[in-house]
């Protein structure tokens, strides 16, 4: 399952990051680290960005990036 598949307010743990090292490094800087709990806050219409809550903040990322982040349900 990836971050795109998460239902609103569902809490999941990140289990895998993208294979692209540059992208993974950027995500780590934003707080998307392995075993981090994240929850879906909002999906923008028309395949827009997706916002997630993690570490008491809300961060939005592109849908194409969210499709590359593997998660496990809790």
Which pLDDT tens digit goes with each residue over 13-46? Answer: 999 999 999 999 999 999 999 999 999 999 999 9
Distance (Å, rounded) from C-alpha 58 to C-alpha 39?
Answer: 9
Give 15-28 as a DSSP string.
Answer: EE--S-HHHHHHHH
Distance (Å, rounded) from C-alpha 45 to C-alpha 36?
Answer: 26
When pLDDT is averaged across residues 3-14 and rounded to a whole number, the result is 95
Q: Is 9 helix (H, G, I), strand (E, B) or coil?
A: coil
| Mean pLDDT (the chain, rounded) | 95
Q: Is the pLDDT of residue 74 over 90?
A: no
pLDDT of residue 57: 94
Q: Is 8 helix (H, G, I), strand (E, B) or coil?
A: strand
Tokens of 68: 């590359």
CATH code: domain 3-73 is 2.30.30.90
pLDDT of residue 24: 97
Higher pLDDT, 47 or 26: 26
């Amino acid at each position: 399952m990836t971050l795109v598949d998460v239902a609103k307010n569902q809490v999941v743990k990140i289990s895998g990051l993208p294979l692209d090292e540059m992208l993974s490094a950027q995500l780590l800087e934003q707080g998307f680290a392995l075993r981090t709990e994240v929850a879906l806050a909002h999906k923008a219409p028309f395949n827009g960005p997706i916002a997630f809550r993690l570490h008491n903040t809300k961060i939005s990322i592109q849908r194409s990036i969210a499709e590359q982040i593997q998660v496990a349900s809790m």
